[in-house]
Structure 1
């Protein structure tokens, strides 16, 4: 679990890297660079292309975990204050718990449901502001992003890849990046003609650490842990982003935000300490006939 938690911790640094190192107004370009180069490098290094049904499964998982998720995240980020988007996104563990009950046969316990509600409350205290405005399309995009990511996590558990971890990670990053590339070109146009050293360093960090390393850790966690437990770890991202804003950017950290961070950590502990003996066996393709 500890290594899996490093993935959302790394993703929590994305806001700082984006605001301090990347050119402004190019979030889709950043999303493409996060996904596609890292995916192509992993595919080239592992030399293990998908086989059989894994061609379309890799495309579906890449779309859910990377491509569609990043696109919806972009819409939500542009149409909603960050606090609103993060609070809506915090429902992802509850969605994953419900999908796990339907697709994997895991029992949705009252403790898990309570931890999910606690997580949403903690994130709202951490990042939500009283004057936050709502936008219908932005809310739909933020909720849609939570739905597709939760679905991607659960399907990644159900469709256990026979390939090595880095190979299957490369498939998904490549598929998601290829899906995002035409969208980025249509919405934002071609990349900037010139990039500074800081821009290149930021893009390099997002592709190498923020994607290749972080997603390998994330997908490794999905293989080893129940999907609901993995999605709860995602709540660490807004905690890390808020802490870095305070430490590195001098942003104010109020007592309410501190309380919110503690509530999020309490939700994580509650979700991760469910007794393994009470969890049913996870159903996969090898144990489900006709799938």
Structure 2
């Protein structure tokens, strides 16, 4: 449960980026937005870990950085400009199921019944929370958001597969730097000069870079290393929950009954996917059925050990 709570920091932080991007960051510069978000965050973590890639981690960092950061940041930035936050968040809510299926194919983590049920319940809850009325759908925006969901899910599974090889802080920093460097040349060619930033945009980028990127991805990959992919994916549903609650606070509105029911379904879906219940059941299955007898056997084993050491029987205690 401790690592579940730590991992939850990431989707909560990411849930704020839609609002920040839509309200404060310049439009029409998704590639520069991705580069400005990834590169400073990667350099910050690199300064903390002071490790550079070795061997295969040069190309692994490039692959993971492109999937998890470079292309993902650009696609999310663009989706936030083309779609209402509610629609973009709803599409991304399918990522737990995508993560489960990809984890099954890549790291042989077969999805179990409860996490799959939790994923379905969670997606239904997100739909209840966000799809509260008629909204305009931009086809490019929908495709962009769906592509971001699939590519990031694949990147997360690959990161989980390779996670035991290096320190999580180091691998996160390499991914961020690689992702930023991949996107930057495309930004120069496609978008020309960097966007001019006012004070609000600078502060917004500072928040997105440090909190919603450096800190969030470090704890996310740490959670992926220690928890099943299904559990981590369902924790990601806190992303749209945060977006709804933030919008409610900013707009000073109260949650409707429909949104409240949706929130309850999302939380239920997250709980169903956590490994606490299965771990407790495993401990019960491995617990000895006759503790008294087990202790007696252990005591006998201990006396036998003493006999082997002294070459005498337990009568030594009586002598």
SS at match of 1:215: helix
Q: Are 1:227 and 2:202 matched, yes or no?
A: no
Q: How many residues align?
A: 278
TM-score norm. by structure 1 comes to 0.87
The structure 1 residue matched to 2:272, chosen from 257, 270, 274, is 270
Q: Which residue of 2 is the match for residue 155 of structure 1?
A: 158
Contact kept? 1:112, 1:271, Cα under 8 Å:
yes
Q: Which residue of 2 is the match for residue 65 of structure 1?
A: 68
Q: Are 1:18 and 2:21 matched, yes or no?
A: yes
- Distance in 1, Cα, partners of 2:156 & 2:277: 19
Report the CA distance between 1:89 and its aligned residue.
Answer: 1.4
TM-score norm. by structure 2 comes to 0.79
Decide whether aligned partners of structure 1 residues 21 and 88 sit closer, same or farther in structure 2, where only a CA change above 3 A counts.
closer
After TM superposition, list the pairs within 5 Å mapping 1:74-153 onto structure 2.
74-153=77-156
- Distance in 2, Cα, partners of 1:169 & 1:143: 23
Q: Are 1:54 and 2:53 matched, yes or no?
A: no
Q: Which residue of 2 is the match for residue 289 of structure 1?
A: none
Larger Rg: 2
Decide whether aligned partners of structure 1 residues 278 and 190 sit closer, same or farther in structure 2, where only a CA change above 3 A counts.
farther
- Distance in 1, Cα, partners of 2:17 & 2:252: 17
Report the CA distance between 1:82 and its aligned residue.
Answer: 2.6
| Unaligned 5+ runs, structure 1 | 280-291
Q: Which residue of 1 is the match for residue 294 of structure 2?
A: none
Instruction: List structure 1 segments (4+ residues) > 6 angstroms apart after TM superposition.
Output: none
- Distance in 1, Cα, partners of 2:281 & 2:185: 46
Contact kept? 1:100, 1:106, Cα under 8 Å:
yes
After TM superposition, list the pairs within 5 Å mapping 1:230-249 onto structure 2.
230-249=232-251
| Unaligned 5+ runs, structure 2 | 283-319
- Distance in 1, Cα, partners of 2:104 & 2:43: 34
Decide whether aligned partners of structure 1 residues 154 and 277 sit closer, same or farther in structure 2, where only a CA change above 3 A counts.
farther
- Distance in 1, Cα, partners of 2:238 & 2:13: 9
Question: Aligned Cα RMSD in Å?
Answer: 2.2
Q: Which residue of 1 is the match for residue 252 of structure 2?
A: 250
